[in-house]
Amino acid sequence: MNLTFFDQFSSPSLLGIPLILIAMTFPALLIPSPGNRWITSRLTTLQLWFFNLVTKQLMMPLDKKGHKWALILTSLMVFLLLTNLLGLLPYTFTPTTQLSMNLALAFPLWLATVLTGLRNQPSTSLGHLLPEGTPTPLIPALILIETTSLLIRPLALGVRLTANLTAGHLLIQLISTATTALFSTMPAISLLTLLILLLLTILEVAVAMIQAYVFVLLLSLYLQENI
């Protein structure tokens, strides 16, 4: 039974071809492209309002120099949000439950923020590794600790997103399996577990949205430290 629970996290394939690329590109197909009309539809207006809201929230803690990253961060936010929400639908695959994919998103963007800081203000970026007023005997240990905490940031980003989504999917499958198994023997308890399942699904929708926002927000904070 343990194997069947974790089978949902294995990448699906058709004729030996992995379908994870289709799962990654499908959210982009749900976004309507703007046309040349002066009067747009309500869906396009809602889409532009949402993009504007997300961009304002992400760019708020950044200086004007960091506004160049608005397109990248907003696109990443929308991609993670749609991917996480679509993964809650039945018989779907969630690419963001794969640690390799999350690390592939986190590591290049984190490295770009670090390189940006080393290029624009190298002394300030390196100064973060050693707090001001540190006693001389503690300097080697603090440099090692701060360097380790800096290098572990992309791993923390990927593991946080993977762990939260994986735990939620496992809980949903466990409770749905219990609801189905108890329906014939104990209908009352089965209805109770069904209510718990509905509440858990609402919670997972919130978690999917929050984790996408936290992932991109932490990247914007890392960027603010280096500009």
Q: Per-residue pLDDT tens for 116-131?
A: 888 888 777 777 777 7
Residue 2 has pLDDT above 50, yes or no: no
Q: Are 226 and 121 in contact (CB under 8 A)?
A: yes
6 lies in a domain?
no
User: Is the predicted pLDDT of residue 59 greater than 80, yes or no?
Assistant: yes
Report how far residue 99's alpha carbon sits from residue 156's, in angstroms, rounded to the nearest whole number: 11
Q: Which region among 3-17, 47-61, 135-149 has the lowest average model confidence (pLDDT)?
A: 3-17
Asked if residue 13 belongs to a domain, the reply is no
Q: Tell me the residue range of the domain where 96 lies.
A: 18-32+39-124+137-226
Most confident of 44-58, 137-151, 212-226: 212-226
| Number of domains the chain contains | 1
Per-residue model confidence (pLDDT) at position 160: 93
Query: In 3D, which of 205, 178, 201 has the Cα closest to residue 191?
Result: 178
Q: Residue written as tokens 């696109």?
A: 75
User: Is residue 197 a part of any domain in this protein?
Assistant: yes
State the SS3 of 54-119: HHHHHHCCCCHHHHHHHHHHHHHHHHHHHHHHHCCCCCCCCHHHCHHHHHHHHHHHHHHHHHHHHH
pTM: predicted TM-score of the whole model, two decimal places: 0.82
In a domain, 182, yes or no: yes
Q: Please report whether residue 1 resides in a domain.
A: no
Give residue-wise pLDDT tens across range 3-49.
466 666 666 666 666 667 777 777 777 776 666 666 667 777 888 88
Q: Is residue 64 part of a domain?
A: yes
CA distances from 18 to 6, 14, 26, 62 (A): 17, 6, 14, 39
Q: Among 59-68, 77-86, 124-133, name the one with the lowest average pLDDT.
A: 124-133
